[in-house]
Structure 1
Amino acid sequence: MMIRTAAVLVAAAAVVSGCGTSADDPAARTSASVSVDLPAEVTISVRIAGGSVTPTNTRTEARVFQPIVLEVDSDAADELHVHSEPSQTFAVEPKAGQRFQFTVTVPGRVDVELHHAGKTVTTLLIRQ
């Protein structure tokens, strides 16, 4: 009877310790790093006029899941490519006041390029 009681106590201890999350558990780290209160959005104003693009080759910092908004005024049609995982593409029309919003879910460097103009608008530095 004593051995059976000890076995039950050991099994119960194993179950209890297995139910918690560990800092080594990737799911625990992911859920702990995602904030319920998302930060304010990052806004990048882009102007395409007379074949020139402003800004070009800048660096912009943002966080994973932070809303990023591209506000575009353009006199020519183009495509904005966001080289995130998954990649995202936005059709730019020749008009003012266009607004494109997206988020990035994987930390790292993400280029935002204008396809037809062949220009990198900015490189997003995405942090946890």
Structure 2
Amino acid sequence: MTPRRLRYGFVTVAAGSLLVGCSSGAESEPAGEPASTARIIDIRIANGAVSPANTRTEATAGQRIVLRVDSDATDELHVHSAPAHTFPVAAASGQQFDFTVTVPGRVEIELHHLGRTVTTLLVRQ
């Protein structure tokens, strides 16, 4: 090989190594199930109102469910699953709660103090 071919071969190998090194996103994903397969539900509580309210959300048994909450008041989120989950909501932004539902069926997620259903998970096998 001529020096020119070696030089281009090295650049190709080096660039390929950089691409392989950058392709892993494992460090940025949370432990457990990758974020791309988790069901994320954004919840906003402001001035006594909640959004979303009385919606339906599809999920799969064993899928990670992530509740991201911004609230101007304290409350409790109740997840009526087996086992049940209760999460204390602070008057703060950027709260995150996660759980997994393993039994197919309907699972209500409600705000205890406001007495409102946020969403009903339709959990399928």
Q: Same fold (TM over 0.5)?
A: yes
Match of 1:53 among 50, 53, 60: 50
* Equivalent-residue separation in structure 2 for 1:86 and 1:101 (angstroms): 13
- TM-score w.r.t. the length of structure 1 is 0.70
Q: Are positions 1:68 and 2:87 aligned together?
A: no
CA RMSD of the aligned region, Å?
1.3
Residue number in structure 2 paired with 1:110: 107
Residue number in structure 2 paired with 1:98: 95
% identical equivalent positions: 63
Return 5+ residue gaps in structure 2 as ranges. Answer: 1-32
* Equivalent-residue separation in structure 1 for 2:99 and 2:80 (angstroms): 12
Return 5+ residue gaps in structure 1 as ranges. Answer: 1-36
Rg larger in structure: 1
* Equivalent-residue separation in structure 2 for 1:57 and 1:126 (angstroms): 16
How many Å apart are 1:125 and its aligned residue? 0.2
3-state SS of 2:102 partner: coil
Partner deviation per Cα, 1:3-31 (whole Å, 9 max, x = no partner): xxxxxxxxxxxxxxxxxxxxxxxxxxxxx
Give every structure 1 segment of 4 or more consecutive aligned residues whose post-TM-superposition deviation is greater than 2 Å.
none
State the one-letter code of the partner of 2:77: L
Residue number in structure 2 paired with 1:126: 123
State the one-letter code of the partner of 1:82: V
How many residues are treated as equivalent by the alignment? 92
- TM-score w.r.t. the length of structure 2 is 0.71
* Equivalent-residue separation in structure 2 for 1:72 and 1:114 (angstroms): 12
3-state SS of 1:105 partner: coil
Partner deviation per Cα, 1:62-81 (whole Å, 9 max, x = no partner): 00110000000000000000
* Equivalent-residue separation in structure 2 for 1:63 and 1:103 (angstroms): 9
* Equivalent-residue separation in structure 2 for 1:125 and 1:45 (angstroms): 17
